[in-house]
Chain A
């Protein structure tokens, strides 16, 4: 499986915050009050799970 490149991930346009200007259609329930329209997905990256230097050591 090929994963997205890191630089591509960081440039995802969906990460921008946007102002809410137009109300949603009446047929759908309203989104929670105060919801920020930031659409962001990022792989979890726990600190120091991996370092090239650790690998090189052994």
Chain B
């Protein structure tokens, strides 16, 4: 039996996920002849972000109606503004990004360069820009470091199936055909397992399954993973789905997948495979017996062999490790994870965990671990750090935890820090006792904040998860949460904020009347709908909740060092910020030596604009366009769940109703050293032009009338702050 396990695009590109290594380890330990794992997500990113591929995208985009044509217009409508935004960026920096994209990837993978913050930021920006260029070839499709969206909704089977044959907008058809299929053909597997965890993987999963079936109809394609807990029953009712997929494995995959291997190799009686949905020879959908997941104490150490470990966009491996599965609390009414993982909470023995860490450290030459768990249980918080210290493991790690005031004493927090814990992420959600009680969170906000300070005092970097828009939450309650966080920001490094979504598998959905949810809005076309827009009788409306969320994000960007340069955050969640913490040892050192390092003086008395700056004159003000398009979010009435692509109907309405953008000369300036792009008004561009090293600042501004010279001087100062003048910049 030859098995191919596939992690399809799109997942995060900074580290491997745990699903395939867990399954591969289990199958290999149980004697399956050959098991290979393919992270097609990182391999696709690596391919798309190559010089040749970006150059091809540039050629295709430039072959269409270009920037010059738009620049001839008197005014731009909404959809033209979107295109202008893309084309002006491509005109400015497309060639430079193509020429340096390989270098940017190399920086992210290189230990010396990655920790040089300026180099890191340049590389991060270059990757972002390259992904925008790549996406433009498939517009309106968008591939970013954090997502993959098409205009097709992943809440509708019919649209997913339409997407999988749309060669113009789906970049994965060609990629899978030319890159993934040859790899699979070389193995010629009998069973292919695809791990479908995120909505961003839905269209790629079906795209790949279709191509596999066209190549080899006899191979058994099974799909497992977290997303199926929400959607498999619904998918199974659609006959078209069974043309490309043979079975779905529900919940944890180890046991059922091994049993499936055994059955496919012998009697092919799929009814004997637990937790399976399949279609029998008569075309009837069958559900096999549901069985509890395996005791995780019986599972082997994850096996990362065969994954392209040198391809991830990080200089050091951060390996995920699950020391528990499920949530020991399991009561929060908004959460669904405790119902779709397991079911039931299970922990691995402390000794096994330490043994796993030792094995993985030695085998993969890394000391970095992300404990991929829902929350660190009190008993493990008390014992794991000492066990790591006793075993003399030199590691760094981070995980999520509940705000257990009694469990995470100062002593426990200290031991965690001593054992290498660099970061802990707590579910704080709200500062309102009323809201927390309604959530069944089981925490007290004052005691929680006390614990946050304890963790910080111990040297841990603290992340808080916050939710806005929980049914009945008022704007005042949300603002009080924000105020509390800002008041305590000396003890908080990051805040991960999100809007509450009503998920049909959650407890709150079942008891929604108790939460004053007076109406829900099912989408009749969305046969895979999981989230529902809704209306409450009290508290914030959905629109107000989104506004509160935007208020949060603005405040976070203003007050938290880690958010002030968003490129750090672009890539950090899985590992980059954690690696930076590990490198500098403490948050304080990271701030002092990296995030808030003093600015070097630039420019001198006679400022000279840097020779490498690339400038492009435009007939429309890009800053205004950026601002207007950015504001569309809160003006859009549709709930934003899986995609922020503006739908055709809305686009047509915006084209009709929005005030057009009128001509106004401006400049775009690209700094190839930092990767930054600045929008200049025409007058500001004139000043930049005059900063050629021959004039003092006063002489630079002499060209403008006296009445505005104060503004002009401040503008030159802004250029200095933006480091557009000659200085000792490194590249």
Which residues of A does B touch, CB under 8 Å? 1-7, 12-14, 16, 18-25, 27-32, 35-58
Kindly identify which residue among B496, B565, B599 contacts A56, using a CB–CB cutoff of 8 Å: B496
Q: Do A40 and B132 touch (CB < 8 A)?
A: no
Residue numbers of B with Cβ under 8 A of A are 11-12, 82, 85-86, 89, 117-118, 121, 128, 132, 142, 144, 146-147, 198, 465, 496-499, 549, 553-554, 556-559, 561, 564-566, 569-570, 573-574, 595-597, 599, 622-623, 626-627, 629-630, 632-633, 640, 644, 664, 668, 676-684, 686-687, 702-708, 710-712, 714-715, 718-719, 721-722
* Cross-chain pairs A/B with CB under 8 angstroms, 10 sampled: A1-B565, A1-B597, A18-B705, A22-B705, A40-B683, A42-B623, A44-B626, A47-B630, A54-B147, A56-B573
User: Within the complex, which residue of A5, A39, A44 is in contact with B678, where a contact is CB–CB below 8 Å?
Assistant: A44
Q: How far is the CA of A41 from the CA of B703 in the complex (A)?
A: 18
Q: Check A7 against B558 for contact (C-beta < 8 Å).
A: yes
Residue among B146, B561, B569, B626 with most chain A CB within 10 A: B146
User: Are the CB atoms of B678 and A43 closer together than 8 Å?
Assistant: yes
* Contact B12 A58, beta carbon cutoff 8 Å: yes
Additional 17 contacts, C-beta under 8 A, given A21-B705, A24-B705, A38-B684: A2-B565, A2-B595, A2-B599, A5-B558, A12-B714, A35-B683, A36-B681, A39-B712, A41-B681, A43-B679, A44-B676, A44-B679, A46-B85, A47-B632, A52-B496, A56-B496, A58-B574
B198 touches A58 (CB 8 A): yes
- B683 nearest CB across to chain A (Å): 5
8 pairs of A and B residues whose beta carbons are closest in the complex: A39-B715, A22-B706, A44-B677, A18-B708, A54-B146, A40-B681, A42-B623, A14-B714
User: Is the CB–CB distance between B705 and A53 below 8 Å?
Assistant: no
Considering the chains assembled together, what is the distance between the CA atoms of A32 and B106 in angstroms? 44
Q: Which residues of A contact B687 (CB under 8 A)?
A: 39
Name the A residues within 8 Å of B702 (CB-CB). 24-25, 27-28
Q: Which residues of B contact A45 (CB under 8 A)?
A: 626-627, 630
CA distance A56 to B497 in the complex (A): 8
- A31 partner, pick from B558, B703, B706, beta carbons under 8 A: B703
Is there an interface contact between B711 and A41, defined as CB atoms closer than 8 Å?
no
Task: Give Cα A28–Cα B142 distance, bound, in whole angstroms.
Answer: 48
Query: Judging by beta carbons under 8 Å apart, are A42 and B705 in contact?
Result: no
Chain A residue nearest to B89 (CB atoms) is A46
By a CB distance below 8 angstroms, the chain B residues around A36 are 664, 681-683
Q: Which residues of A contact B146 (CB under 8 A)?
A: 50-51, 54-55, 57-58
Task: Determine which residue in A14, A20, A48, A52 has the highest number of CB atoms from chain B within 10 A of its CB, and name it.
Answer: A52
